[in-house]
C-alpha cells in the first residue's frame, strides 16, 4: 500500500499523504559514504531529536538560515562559507546529496552547518522552533510540470503558513525557480498568503549576488531557461 492510499490512522498519528518528492535510488560514492561516517555525528540532525534548541545545536546565538531541498549541497556550503557569522541548516531527502554536502563542507572547512536527511515538511513541523529563522531558502524545488502532479508542489498554503511560523518577524522566505509557471504559482500563493510582504518592487527580485549558482540553475541555463527569484518578508 502506498503512502497515498493509507486509510485513516488512529488519532494523533499525523501523516502527510502527498509528498513533494519521490525518493530517487542512487548509491553513495565511497567519498560520500566516508563523509557520512565521519561527519554525521557532528553535523547530522535527526527527526527524532524533536524540537531543537538552536543555541545548543550551534553552541552560540547567531542568525539562522534554513535551506529546503539542497540537492548536492554545493551552493548551501558556499553560502555557509561566505557567511560564517550565520548558522545554516540544510534539509534534503536524497542520501547521496547529503553525503556530497558533508564532503564539500569538509573540503571548505565549514563549521556553521548542520543537515537533516528527511522530509522538510516534517522537520519544519516537528524540529524547528517557532519564530527562530532569519531566512528560509527554497532553490529550484521540483516543479512537477504536469497538471495532475501540481498537488505535489511544495509551495502550497499549508507549507507557506508553516514557513511563516518558523520565521522571525521580518525574516525572509527566498524562493528561486527556472520554471515560469511555477514562478507564477509561487507569486500567486505568496501574495494571497497572510503575513507576508513582497520585498520586490514588482513581482520578482533581481537575482541576488549572495545566491551562488546551483546545480539545477546551471542546468536550466544550459537549456535556455529564465530564472525567477522571490523574496517575501514575514510581517505578522
Closer residue to ligand SAM in complex, CB, 76/193: 76
Measured CA to CA, the distance from residue 109 to residue 103 in angstroms comes to: 10
Pick the stretch among 167-175, 196-204, 213-221, 223-231 that binds ligand SAM (CB under 6 A). Answer: 213-221
How many Å is the maximal CA-CA distance in the chain?
49
Residues contacting residue 172 through CB under 8 Å, at least 6 positions apart: 134, 135, 136, 199, 231, 232, 233, 234
What's the angle, vertex CA 158, arms to CA 225 and CA 218, rounded to 5? Answer: 20
State yes or no: residue 91 binds ligand SAM (CB under 6 A).
yes
Residue 171 is placed in which grid cell? 525574516
Q: Are strands 133-139 and 167-177 parallel, antiparallel or unpaired?
A: parallel
Site track 122-161 with ligand SAM (rule: CB under 6 A), x = hit: -----------------xxxx-----------x-------
Closer residue to ligand SAM in complex, CB, 6/24: 24
Residue 65 CA: distances (Å) to CA of 124, 139, 189, 221: 13, 13, 22, 26
Q: Measuring CA to CA, which residue among 76, 51, 49, 54 is closest to residue 214?
A: 76
Number of residues that bind ligand SAM (CB under 6 A): 23
Minimum Å distance from CB 21 to ligand SAM? 4
* Residue of 142, 178, 203, 209 with catalytic role: 142
Radius of gyration of the chain (CA): 17
Closer residue to ligand SAM in complex, CB, 52/93: 93
Site track 156-195 with ligand SAM (rule: CB under 6 A), x = hit: ----------------------------------------
| Grid cell 509528498 in the structure block, residue | 19
Measured CA to CA, the distance from residue 180 to residue 225 in angstroms comes to: 9
| Grid cell 547529503 in the structure block, residue | 98
Query: Site for ligand SAM (CB under 6 A): which residue of 52, 214, 228, 230?
Result: 214
Minimum Å distance from CB 197 to ligand SAM? 25
Which residues on neighbouring strands pair with residue 138, listed in sequence order?
68, 175
Binders of ligand SAM among residues 57 to 86 (CB under 6 A) are 68-71
Q: Are strands 228-234 and 196-198 parallel, antiparallel or unpaired?
A: antiparallel
Pick the stretch among 38-46, 81-89, 113-121, 127-135 that binds ligand SAM (CB under 6 A). Answer: 113-121
Q: Is 142 a catalytic residue?
A: yes
Binders of ligand SAM among residues 192 to 211 (CB under 6 A) are none
- Which parts of this chain interact with ligand SAM (CB under 6 A)? 20-21, 68-71, 91-94, 97, 119-121, 139-142, 154, 214-217
State the catalytic residues. Answer: 142
Amino acid at each position: 500500500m502506498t503512502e497515498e492510499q493509507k486509510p485513516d490512522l488512529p488519532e494523533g498519528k499525523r501523516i502527510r499523504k502527498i509528498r513533494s518528492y519521490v525518493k530517487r535510488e542512487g548509491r553513495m560514492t565511497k567519498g560520500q559514504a566516508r563523509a557520512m561516517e565521519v561527519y554525521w555525528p557532528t553535523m547530522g540532525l535527526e527527526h527524532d531529536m524533536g524540537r531543537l534548541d538552536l543555541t545548543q545545536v550551534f553552541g552560540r546565538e547567531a542568525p539562522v538560515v534554513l535551506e529546503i531541498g539542497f540537492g548536492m549541497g554545493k551552493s548551501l556550503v558556499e553560502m555557509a562559507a561566505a557567511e560564517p557569522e550565520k548558522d545554516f541548516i540544510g534539509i534534503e531527502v536524497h542520501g547521496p546529496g547529503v553525503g556530497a554536502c558533508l564532503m564539500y563542507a569538509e573540503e571548505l572547512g565549514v563549521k556553521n552547518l548542520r543537515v537533516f536527511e528527511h522530509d522538510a515538511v516534517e522537520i519544519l513541523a516537528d524540529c524547528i522552533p517557532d519564530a527562530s529563522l532569519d531566512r528560509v531558502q527554497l532553490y529550484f524545488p521540483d516543479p512537477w510540470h504536469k497538471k495532475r502532479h501540481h498537488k505535489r508542489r511544495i509551495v502550497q498554503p499549508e507549507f507557506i503558513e508553516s514557513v511563516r511560523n518558523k520565521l522571525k518577524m521580518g525574516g525572509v522566505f527566498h524562493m528561486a525557480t527556472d520554471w515560469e509557471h511555477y514562478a507564477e504559482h509561487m507569486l500567486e500563493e505568496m501574495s494571497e498568503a497572510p503575513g507576508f510582504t513582497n520585498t520586490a518592487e514588482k513581482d520578482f527580485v533581481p537575482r541576488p549576488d549572495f545566491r551562488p549558482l546551483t546545480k539545477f540553475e546551471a542546468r536550466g541555463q544550459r537549456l535556455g531557461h529564465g530564472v525567477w527569484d522571490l523574496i517575501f518578508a514575514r510581517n505578522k
